[in-house]
Structure 1
Amino acid sequence: MPATLLLVDDHALFRTGLRLIVQDHPDVGTIAEAGSIVQACELRLQEADLVLLDIQLPGMSGLDGLRLLRQSCPRARIVLVSASMAPDAVRESRARGADGFLPKSARGEDILNAITLALAGLPCFPSDGAPAAADGPQAPALTARQLDVLSLLCTGKPNKVIARDLSLSENTVRVHVAAIFAQLGVNSRSAALLQAQRLGMVGLPLHGGY
């Protein structure tokens, strides 16, 4: 039977990007979303098999809300998700009883592998001794027009609509999209959306120009 997943993160855009990745997992069926521990508990998803839980949440953190979610989703494996890869964060997650830990910088294939492990009842933690990046990944230097295209791409608009909104030809938009994918190191719109969110490149104002 396909698994039921619950995504808990206060950033709707990140949840959207994560959903686009996890929905491709062959063992995943229903995907529910919540923006906080309170919302997650109110869903009363006792049938949930896996929860991907952000550590930094408003009101109550993922670490502090772990026990409440255990009560609300008694059969679920709970994997904590964090923007930090600091060894202390990994150790604290394990100490609080989490079943795994995922950095938000994880690649799509790593996220899918973690889901496979978690659903199989196996832990999915990185090495406690793994060094954290000093400053995290850096946003690539896109042109003003590429940033415009990226902003619209992240809202789910197709090339035809982006071209109309920016008064460009579809071919020009395709060229910009290819350049954006190359700069971000991705090969799909869903991956571009997730990577742009990680790098803080979404929600940018339109600049104009070519």
Structure 2
Amino acid sequence: MSALQSARPNARLLLVDDHALFRTGLRLIVQDHPSVGAIAEAGSIADACALQRADIDLVLLDIQLPGMSGLDGLRLVRQACPQARIVLVSASVAPDAVHEARARGADGFLPKSANAEDILEAITCALSGQPCFPINSGNSATTRGPDAPSLTARQLDVLSLLCTGKPNKVIARDLGLSENTVRVHVAAIFAQLGVNSRSAALLAAQRLGLSTPQLHDPL
């Protein structure tokens, strides 16, 4: 029996992240998983614990949260959602971050740079009771410098066009993607850069040296 076949049907998910835009993008991806049913959201450990949901099957828990981090709050979330598998989500894919997630008792680790296919595969593994930790934390991410966020090649493409002022509809057309997919990429980019606007994303990209030839193209 495949992992997908053994995953729980109509699973209830809880997305815990303080960036509403990233949660929206993540919801757009996970709601397409055949085993996913209801999806709840929370912006902090306190909000997640206040839900007291014994029926939650899977929690995607951001590490960088206001007040209490996902690592420190993992035990509390497990108490509030006792039957849930908990996968930590992080902008960092450093080996020590993955190791710390394992040490704290997480059931998996998902980098924010993961593409939609990787996210859905992680959900399948988690819901079927399997661990879902990256084999190679630097597998698909492209970084520029030791402090730069991890962005996939496709996210860099989107960032490049975004910084020229193009709207999502035009970016989708230029890259051959759906507009929903572009929105997901933009949400992930904003979350990793720690910004909430396109102008701020441009400044962050320039500061971090994430510019590409397209960013300098006057056309």
TM-score by length of 2: 0.73
Instruction: Report the Cα distance in structure 1 between the residues aligned to 2:109 and 2:123, rounded to whole angstroms.
Output: 11
Q: Kindly indicate whether the alpha-carbon contact (under 8 Å) linking 1:9 and 1:34 is maintained by their aligned counterparts in 2.
A: yes
Aligned mates of 1:14, 1:98 — CA distance in 2:
21
Using a 3 Å threshold, how does the CA distance of structure 1 residues 20 and 175 change in structure 2: closer, same or farther? closer
Match of 1:88 in 2: 96
Which 5+ residue runs of structure 1 have no aligned equivalent?
151-173
Match of 1:49 among 57, 62, 68: 57
> CA shift at 1:193, angstroms?
1.4
Secondary structure at the aligned position of 1:140 is classed as helix
Which of 7, 18, 38 in structure 1 is aligned with 2:15?
Answer: 7
AA matched with 2:45:
I
**Structure 1 counterpart of 2:134:** 126
CA radius of gyration, larger in:
1
The runs of at least 4 aligned residues of structure 1 exceeding 6 Å deviation read none
Q: Structure 2: 5+ residue runs without aligned partners?
A: 1-8, 145-149, 200-218
**Kept after mapping to 1: 8 A contact 2:14/2:56:** yes
Q: Does 1:107 align with 2:115?
A: yes
Q: Does residue 204 of structure 1 match 2:198? A: yes
What is the DSSP-based 3-state SS (H/G/I as helix, E as strand, rest coil) of the residue aligned with 2:32? coil
Secondary structure in 1 matching 2:160:
coil
* Counterpart residue type for residue 140 of structure 1: S
1:26 matched to 2:34? The reply is yes
Q: Tell me the SS of whatever aligns to 1:126.
A: coil
Which moves more between the two structures, 105-114 or 130-139? 130-139
CA contact (8 A) 1:100 1:118 kept: yes
* Deviation for aligned residue 1:196: 1.4
Structure 1 range deviating more: 62-71 or 128-137: 128-137
How well do the aligned residues superpose, as a CA RMSD in angstroms? 2.2
Deviation at 1:187, TM superposition (A): 1.9
Q: How does 1:69-88 map to 2 (within 5 A)?
A: 69-88=77-96
Q: Residue 85 and residue 2 in structure 1: after superposition, are their counterparts in 2 closer, same or farther (change >3 A)?
A: same
Separation in 2, partners of 1:12, 1:175: 24
